[in-house]
């Protein structure tokens, strides 16, 4: 009988039935915030990977973090055990872009805040994060509106000099970087990353390039990745 009492006391140590409503509230808040964060990432993220598929992990990651913090926050022994467990477990999937890591940290922060019983503070901080992301996104869009990938090709490579094209682009572009060039006996193609201050400069550059030779063709592709 004494052993059973000791087991029950040890089993319920650090746990109270009164804490269940608060845990449920924090759980719901954590899941809702992670869901909203997934929508924000899918809309405003710049990653070329499938953002919607990646965002599905946010809810599970957030509530898992919250549960772990809720369990270990009242026990030093469990906290030390968690450190040992994390030294063994490693992520096997590589993070392709820094932006993905940023959103993962934000997801973990949501779980940490809710798990520590600071759901209201977490909501306030989350609203601030979303506003910062929104304002930053609007500002970057206005700056990158004329950032383009430019491809110049011709079926008569002898009629085009790559150096002349670069010098011509420098007259109209605020920034230029050669990304790739392919040349054969029957064709030539060069790809650039270019920046224009305004649309008029773009039109002037396009007209100047076309005047080089009738065989020249031009292709512009938007670099903002807004899709």
195: which DSSP letter?
A: E
Q: Region 6-35: what's the mean pLDDT?
A: 73
| Per-residue pLDDT tens digits for 25-42 | 989 999 999 999 999 988
CA neighbor of 179 nearest in space, from 166, 160, 164, 198 = 166
Q: What domain range includes position 202? A: 147-222
CATH of the domain at 187: 3.30.70.2690
Measured CA to CA, the distance from residue 32 to residue 130 in angstroms comes to 14
The predicted structure's pLDDT at residue 1: 54
* Same domain flag for 121 and 79: yes
Q: What share of the chain is helix, strand, coil (3-state, %, to 5)?
A: 60, 15, 25
Count of domains forming the chain: 2
* Same domain flag for 96 and 190: no
Virtual torsion, Cα 106, 37, 225, 100, nearest 10 deg: 30
What is the pTM for the complete model shown? Answer: 0.56
Tell me whether residue 227 is in a domain: no
CA 171 vs CA 11, 102, 179, 211, 218: distances in Å: 75, 38, 19, 15, 17
Neighbours of 225 (CB within 10 A): 10
| Per-residue pLDDT tens digits for 131-152 | 988 888 776 654 444 667 888 8
């Amino acid at each position: 009988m004494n052993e059973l009492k000791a087991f029950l006391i040890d089993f319920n140590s650090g746990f109270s039935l009164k804490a269940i409503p608060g845990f449920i509230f924090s759980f719901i808040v954590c899941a809702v915030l992670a869901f909203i964060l997934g929508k924000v990432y899918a809309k405003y993220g710049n990653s070329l990977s499938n953002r919607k598929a990646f965002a599905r992990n946010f809810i599970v990651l957030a509530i898992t973090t919250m549960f772990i913090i809720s369990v270990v926050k009242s026990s030093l022994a469990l906290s030390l055990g968690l450190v040992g467990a994390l030294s063994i477990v490693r992520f096997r999937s590589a993070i392709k872009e820094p932006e993905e890591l940023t959103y993962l940290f934000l997801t973990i922060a949501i779980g940490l805040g809710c798990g520590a019983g600071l759901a209201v503070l977490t909501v306030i901080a989350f609203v601030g994060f979303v506003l910062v992301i929104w304002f930053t996104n609007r500002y970057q869009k206005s700056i990158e509106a004329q950032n383009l990938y430019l491809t110049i090709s011709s079926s008569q490579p002898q009629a085009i000099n790559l150096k002349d094209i670069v010098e011509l682009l420098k007259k109209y572009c605020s920034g230029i970087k050669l990304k790739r060039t392919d040349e054969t006996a029957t064709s030539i193609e060069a790809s650039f990353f270019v920046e224009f201050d305004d649309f008029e400069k773009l039109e002037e550059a396009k007209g100047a390039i076309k005047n080089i030779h009738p065989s020249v063709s031009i292709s512009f592709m938007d670099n903002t990745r807004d899709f």
